[in-house]
Amino acid sequence: MRVDKFLWCVRYFKTRSIATNACKQGKVKVDGANVKPSKEIFPNDKLTVRKNQIDYQIEVLDLPPSRVGAKLVNLYIIDVTPKEAFEKLELLKYSKDYYRKKGTGRPTKKDRRDIDDWFENTDPNPDEKDKEA
């Protein structure tokens, strides 16, 4: 079975064209090597799929006849993704929440005061103070 069709069948991608594009962009690897969407896969192959900033590691158990329901996916694959990958994603979410979202408008008064305080604390010409002393 083709790798793009397999990833669509086991519900890693919503459409087959998205799975095909992921293969073309180098986000899918079979046994550590980048593959084309038409690469045939077999049971016991190990896939690495880069999706949502996580490298999912999948072991193929069997090939499904067609797209399967979400409850039946575990009959065809084993997800061996390390837990550290998911923890990194959580840390990334927290770090993004700290900054303002793009397109939220002008800075608030607090933002402006913080910027002003930062500019007051960093002196652009430290040599001028030495001359006055």
d(CA 93, CA 127): 42
Domain count, the chain: 1
User: Is 21 within the bounds of a domain?
Assistant: yes
Mean pLDDT by 10-residue block, N- to C-terminus, for the chain (133 residues)? 89 89 89 87 89 86 87 87 80 65 74 81 61 55
User: Is 61 within the bounds of a domain?
Assistant: yes
User: Is 51 within the bounds of a domain?
Assistant: yes
Phi, psi at residue 56, to the nearest 5°? -75, 135
CATH of the domain at 90: 3.10.290.10
User: Is 7 within the bounds of a domain?
Assistant: yes
User: Is 132 within the bounds of a domain?
Assistant: no
User: Is 114 within the bounds of a domain?
Assistant: no
Q: Please state, in angstroms and as integers, the Cα–Cα distance from residue 101 to each residue in 32, 92, 94, 113, 117, following that order.
A: 36, 14, 13, 19, 22
pLDDT at 99: 62
pLDDT at 101: 65
User: Is 104 within the bounds of a domain?
Assistant: no
Residue span of the structural domain in which 64 resides: 3-95
